């Protein structure tokens, strides 16, 4: 592989962080302009369409990435596989859209709603453009061929344009359709950009007989995994909503898990770098580089996640206050800080499980093992959530579900590690990760004891809200300096490599 993996990692990290920032810029504005009712219509419609998006993709991006990597140096085979996956996804997309239309135009619930002048049908049809046009995006080709710089620049430019359009065009509450078109335009512009660049990578002239049968089994397995992941990730909020009819605990849970989801999103975004590279090494039977790649990705995971866990646990109160906008611990979202503390470990367990799945199981064609692990985790998640929320922690059900979710996630990781122990043991259990863990404890102690002192010193002059914001920013900045300095002193590999590259 000619491209430098360190460059790809840095490019994707920058891309993910910047995209998260750009996405958050418009959210408060949209909340104010559309109002809760219209925003609720959009959110509900988007959730509905998401299930048909899963049906349309049937996990083709993952299997396509793996197969394209294997033939990337053979132009004829590359074009043939690209055509095959395009045809498969076109068929599944049309079938999914047909099912969506059948439900949309026959179920009464999708017609005009009492008390509103809108119905869900136009919004759902507009949002369905996402997966209809997505057939032509060929994103999996760019991932497999490691065109990360192109994808980063393209995404940043498109999202910036769309953010500007949202601020300029969405100015009244009734402009919900306009906002929907702005969000859909992200996919449309991505497709246009990819199609312009695509002829430089592959050809679409048929050169041989297609062989679709070889993909049916792996696509079926990955599709089952996608559904299992959806059930596993959504079971906590669903169960909590059933237990607490007021949905107050659900709000606390949503606030508590927000920061955790951001860190997980940053770490798991790197799978687009590591999965093609792992597949390439296994194709060439290069076990040495395959093991080194696992170790490198785990190193990055620990490097990002450990200080995040330490900081979020120590500053759980100010962080959840900032996210929710509630600075009175006796007011709303009162379970959120404890939920954040209980869920913090998921940043590590979920990220490591994702590494095992995308970087080891998919390249080794052992995806079924992930289904078994998630199935067991789902059983534990449901059982423990009911036990904690309904019996042991009835007064704080959100905390009970959070504890159950963290335990279930740890069980999934333990099962996966046991199944692929020889491929992951060196990546997890080494002195380098131990150094990060020890320094992480120091960061926790710093944040836990120094943070409140900063907030207390500023409280009288800045007030509660601003003093907590300054506390978070100060602890993160000073903690980052301490963290990097201590890792540099202990000769931690990732930091040492970065400073060597700079020199």
Write out the DSSP string of 374-399.
HHHHHHHHHHHHHHIIIIITTT-HHH
**pLDDT tens digits, residue range 290-349?**
888 888 888 888 998 999 999 999 888 887 777 665 554 445 567 778 888 998 999 999
Higher pLDDT, 23 or 378: 378
Residue 479: Cβ within 10 Å count? 22
pLDDT over threshold 50, residue 413: yes
**pLDDT tens digits, residue range 421-443?**
888 888 888 888 899 999 999 99
**pLDDT tens digits, residue range 257-267?**
777 888 888 88
Higher pLDDT, 328 or 420: 420
- Say how far apart CA 452 and CA 456 lie, in whole Å: 6
Structure confidence at residue 438 (pLDDT): 93
- Say how far apart CA 47 and CA 279 lie, in whole Å: 33
Structure confidence at residue 332 (pLDDT): 56
Structure confidence at residue 439 (pLDDT): 92
Q: Which of 479, 115, 61 is nearest to 311 (CA)?
A: 479
pLDDT over threshold 80, residue 36: no
Among 31-35, 49-53, 363-367, 427-431, top mean pLDDT goes to 427-431
Return the percentage of the chain with pLDDT > 70, whole number. Answer: 79
Q: Which of 297, 271, 274, 295 is nearest to 427 (CA)?
A: 295
**pLDDT tens digits, residue range 118-175?**
456 788 888 888 878 888 888 888 888 878 788 888 888 998 899 899 999 988 888 8
- Say how far apart CA 452 and CA 104 lie, in whole Å: 53
Considering only 103-117, 186-200, 332-346, which range has the smallest mean pLDDT?
103-117
Considering only 96-105, 140-149, 410-419, 434-443, which range has the smallest mean pLDDT?
140-149
Considering only 78-92, 161-175, 221-235, 476-490, which range has the smallest mean pLDDT?
221-235
Mean pLDDT, the chain, integer:
79
For 219, half-sphere exposure in the C-beta direction (CA atoms, 13 angstrom radius) is 19
Is the model's pTM score more than 0.85?
Answer: no
Predicted confidence band at 8 (pLDDT cuts at 50, 70, 90)? low
Spell 176-192 as b/e; 16+ CB within 10 A means b: beebbbbbbbbbbbbbe
Q: Is 64 exposed, middle or buried (0-12, 13-18, 19+ CB in 10 A)?
A: buried
107: three-class secondary structure by DSSP: coil
The mean pLDDT value for 478-488 works out to 89
The mean pLDDT value for 55-59 works out to 74
pLDDT over threshold 80, residue 470: no
- Say how far apart CA 379 and CA 397 lie, in whole Å: 18
- Say how far apart CA 333 and CA 253 lie, in whole Å: 8
Higher pLDDT, 42 or 358: 358
Higher pLDDT, 496 or 350: 350
Structure confidence at residue 306 (pLDDT): 92
**pLDDT tens digits, residue range 196-253?**
988 888 887 777 788 777 777 777 776 777 777 766 666 666 676 667 655 566 656 7
């Amino acid at each position: 592989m000619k491209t430098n993996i360190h460059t790809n990692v840095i490019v994707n990290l920058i891309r993910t962080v910047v995209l998260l920032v750009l996405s958050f810029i418009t959210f408060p504005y949209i909340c104010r302009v559309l109002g809760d009712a219209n925003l609720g219509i959009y959110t509900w419609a988007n959730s509905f369409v998401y299930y048909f998006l899963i049906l349309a993709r049937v996990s083709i991006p993952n299997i396509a990435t793996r197969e394209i990597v294997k033939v990337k140096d053979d132009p004829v085979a590359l074009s043939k596989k690209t055509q095959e996956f395009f045809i498969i996804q076109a068929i599944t997309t049309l079938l999914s859209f047909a099912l969506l239309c059948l439900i949309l135009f026959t179920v009464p619930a999708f017609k005009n709603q009492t008390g509103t002048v809108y119905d869900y049908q136009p919004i759902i049809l507009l949002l369905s453009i996402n997966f209809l046009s997505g057939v032509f995006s060929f994103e999996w080709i760019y991932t497999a061929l490691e065109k990360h710089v192109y994808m980063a620049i393209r995404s940043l430019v498109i999202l910036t344009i769309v953010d500007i359009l949202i601020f300029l065009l969405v100015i009244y509450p009734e402009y919900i359709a306009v906002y929907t078109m702005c969000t859909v335009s992200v996919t449309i512009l991505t497709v246009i950009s990819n199609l312009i660049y695509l002829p430089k990578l592959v050809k679409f002239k048929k050169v041989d007989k297609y062989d679709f049968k070889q993909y049916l089994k792996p696509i079926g397995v990955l599709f089952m995994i996608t559904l299992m992941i959806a059930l596993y990730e959504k079971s906590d909020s669903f169960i909590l909503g059933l237990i607490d009819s007021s949905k107050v605990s659900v709000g606390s849970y949503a606030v508590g898990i927000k920061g955790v989801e951001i860190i997980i999103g940053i770490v798991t975004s790197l799978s687009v770098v590591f999965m093609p590279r792992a597949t390439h090494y296994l194709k060439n039977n290069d076990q040495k580089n395959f093991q080194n790649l696992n170790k490198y990705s785990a190193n990055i995971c620990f490097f990002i996640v450990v200080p995040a866990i330490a900081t979020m646990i120590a500053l759980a109160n100010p962080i959840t206050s900032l996210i929710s906008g509630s600075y009175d611990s006796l007011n709303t979202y009162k379970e959120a800080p404890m939920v954040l503390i209980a869920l913090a470990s998921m940043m590590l367990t979920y990220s490591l499980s994702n590494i095992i799945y995308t970087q080891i199981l998919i390249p080794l064609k052992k995806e079924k093992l992930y289904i078994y692990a998630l199935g067991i985790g789902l059983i534990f998640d449901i059982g423990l959530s009911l036990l904690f929320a309904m019996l042991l922690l009835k007064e704080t059900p959100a905390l009970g579900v959070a504890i159950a979710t963290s335990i279930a996630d740890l069980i999934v990781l333990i099962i996966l590690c046991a199944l692929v122990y020889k491929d992951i043991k060196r990546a997890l259990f080494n002195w380098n990760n131990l150094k990060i863990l020890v320094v992480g404890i120091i960061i926790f102690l710093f944040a836990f004891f120094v943070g409140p002192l900063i907030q207390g010193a500023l409280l009288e002059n800045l007030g509660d809200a601003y003093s907590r914001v300054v506390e978070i920013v100060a602890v993160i900045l000073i903690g980052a300096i301490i963290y990097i300095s201590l890792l540099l002193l202990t000769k931690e590999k990732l930091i040492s490599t970065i400073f060597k590259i700079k020199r």
